[in-house]
A and B are shown apart, each in its own frame.
Chain A
Amino acid sequence: AQKVTQAQTEISVVEKEDVTLDCVYETRDTTYYLFWYKQPPSGELVFLIRRNSFDEQNEISGRYSWNFQKSTSSFNFTITASQVVDSAVYFCAFNPTNDYKLSFGAGTTVTVRA
């Protein structure tokens, strides 16, 4: 069975600071997909990124960047120059290839103070 660990329960930063969210997963699968979702205070779940285990290239989308390291089973997420609108709960999730079940971490609550 897969396990996704987000060790940071809460992170509080001041606006414009960078913040990195850690995600570590455990699996015996050789191929899989990793995800990040954002849950703002309004409650909906917003898809941010999907990463294939074959592709270890880091990805950048605006102020968001992701660092995938298969050797350490980590898929970390960095918000650069944080803004108040980044305040949310962020979930890391894992889906083995050819499997129907998406496993979530417990989430990290990010609070960005003005």
Chain B
Amino acid sequence: NAGVTQTPKFQVLKTGQSMTLQCAQDMNHEYMSWYRQDPGMGLRLIHYSVGAGITDQGEVPNGYNVSRSTTEDFPLRLLSAAPSQTSVYFCASSQTPGQPWGTQYFGPGTRLLVL
């Protein structure tokens, strides 16, 4: 199993550009999520999905869109990038969180720089 994979590893954008961060998992996990990591703030939840066709907002959803058309994939879209979105983005997946089997496993991260 590859686990959770993310592409690209690193991206530079100009303000106002759009892009999609890709996330895929091959563990048949129903739950997937996106976090951003900023210095001194830990990881903050952007959006999450509890299954194909079901998504919801996390703590910091503004400026990001998600969709979940398959169990395996959970892309994160930046419609109009802003310098405040410069961060490291992590995708995670798990069985149902809040349950004994619900440990979240993380992808390798995408480092995004918005100029």
Contacts and interface: CB of A to CB of B under 8 A. Distances in A.
The residue in B58, B103, B111 that gathers the most chain A C-beta atoms within 10 A of its C-beta is B103
A100 B42 contact: no
B97 A99 contact: yes
A45 to B, nearest CB: 4
A102 B45 contact: yes
A3 to B, nearest CB: 11
Query: Number of contact residues on A: which range applies?
Result: 20 to 34
Query: Number of contact residues on B: which range applies?
Result: 20 to 34
Interface stretch (A69-77, A79-87, A89-97): A89-97
Given A33-B98, A97-B99, A45 B31 contact: no
A44 B106 contact: yes
Interface of A: 4, 6, 9, 32-33, 35, 37, 43-45, 47, 50, 52, 91, 93, 95-107
